């Protein structure tokens, strides 16, 4: 896979040379209008493992096909990078954003491992000849970009998808630490949380991370039981993991409840003389 400088250069400078300060014009202004081939936007429903996830493709003005950037967003509830998608489109690229299963209205249950499957499904959908022709996609010039958790998705996807023209990581988070919980005790989650604090910097985000890890551990334990390979050491480890996870979940959710209560007090609307006064 080519991870060369032309990727970033093309993304930011193809539309113009930028201002005197070196800021690309695509960041702050639209290109000349093309009435014959105007810019557009279309909602996509991309099939992945029996479900259809939500996506949007931003198409630039001008006759295609165009190079295409697929953007993998971070942990649900944080940044979706739509401003980046708009700038990329102004630079003459297609920009595709999508929501993993269980995130932002896409059906299913959110799991880290499924994010990798969904990224593969999006790329396969865009490379389909019919879809490539419909949306003006130059399939040999497709780049994958990811922010934070999306950076983790990007690097894993690019490792096996050698047809990609490039990969871009933006403040990539190492969500792969979750997978390490197969062999480490869940008590080490303090290290995990510290490593991706910008992704799970709220009690609810941390709780979701712990619950996802615990769900994965339960599946591994159930498979071990089904194979008849359960050992006392494995049972003791599983009990310890459940105890640690339960304790952390209770602590974080209590903190989340207090946050909600404090917020409700902050925005309380008292009534004075028949008039509502908002603080």
**27-58 b/e with 16+ CB inside 10 Å = b?**
beeebeeeeeeebeeeebebebeebebbbbbb
**Whole-prediction pTM value?**
0.62
Looking at the predicted structure, is the pLDDT value of residue 135 above 60? Answer: yes
pLDDT in tens, 215-254: 777 888 888 888 888 888 888 888 888 887 777 777 767 6
Burial of 168 (C-beta count, 10 Å sphere; 0-12/13-18/19+)? buried
Residue 261 — very low, low, confident or very high, per pLDDT cuts 50/70/90? low
85-118: pLDDT as tens digits: 999 999 999 999 999 998 888 999 888 889 999 9
Q: What is the pLDDT of residue 262?
A: 52
Return the pLDDT at 59.
96
Q: Please say if the pLDDT value at position 129 is more than 90.
A: yes
Q: Are 200 and 75 in contact (CB under 8 A)?
A: yes
Query: How high is the pLDDT of residue 237?
Result: 83
The tens digit of pLDDT for each residue in 192-201 reads 444 444 444 5
């Amino acid at each position: 896979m080519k991870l060369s400088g032309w990727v970033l250069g093309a993304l930011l400078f193809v539309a113009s040379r930028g201002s005197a300060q070196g800021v690309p014009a695509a960041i702050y202004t639209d290109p000349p209008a093309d009435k014959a081939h105007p810019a557009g936007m279309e909602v996509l429903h991309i099939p992945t493992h029996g479900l259809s996830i939500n996506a949007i493709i931003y198409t630039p003005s001008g006759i295609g096909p165009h190079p295409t950037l697929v953007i993998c967003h971070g942990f649900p509830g944080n940044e979706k990078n739509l401003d980046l998608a708009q700038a990329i489109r102004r630079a003459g690229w297609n920009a595709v954003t999508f929501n993993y299963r269980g995130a932002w209205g896409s059906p299913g249950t959110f799991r880290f491992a499924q994010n990798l499957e969904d990224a593969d499904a999006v790329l396969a959908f865009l490379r389909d000849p019919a879809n490539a022709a419909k949306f003006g996609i130059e399939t040999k010039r497709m780049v994958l970009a990811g922010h934070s958790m999306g950076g983790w998705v990007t690097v894993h996807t690019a490792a096996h998808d050698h047809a990609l023209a490039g990969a871009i990581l933006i403040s990539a988070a190492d969500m792969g630490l979750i997978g390490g919980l197969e062999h480490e005790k869940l008590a080490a989650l303090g290290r995990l949380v510290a490593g991706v604090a910008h992704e799970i910097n709220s009690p609810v985000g941390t709780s979701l991370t712990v619950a996802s890890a615990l769900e994965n551990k339960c599946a591994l334990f159930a498979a071990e039981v089904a194979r008849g390979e359960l050992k006392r050491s494995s049972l003791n480890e599983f009990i310890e993991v459940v105890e640690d996870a339960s304790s952390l979940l209770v602590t974080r959710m209590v903190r989340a409840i207090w946050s909600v209560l404090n917020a409700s007090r902050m925005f309380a609307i008292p009534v004075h003389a028949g008039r509502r006064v908002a603080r």
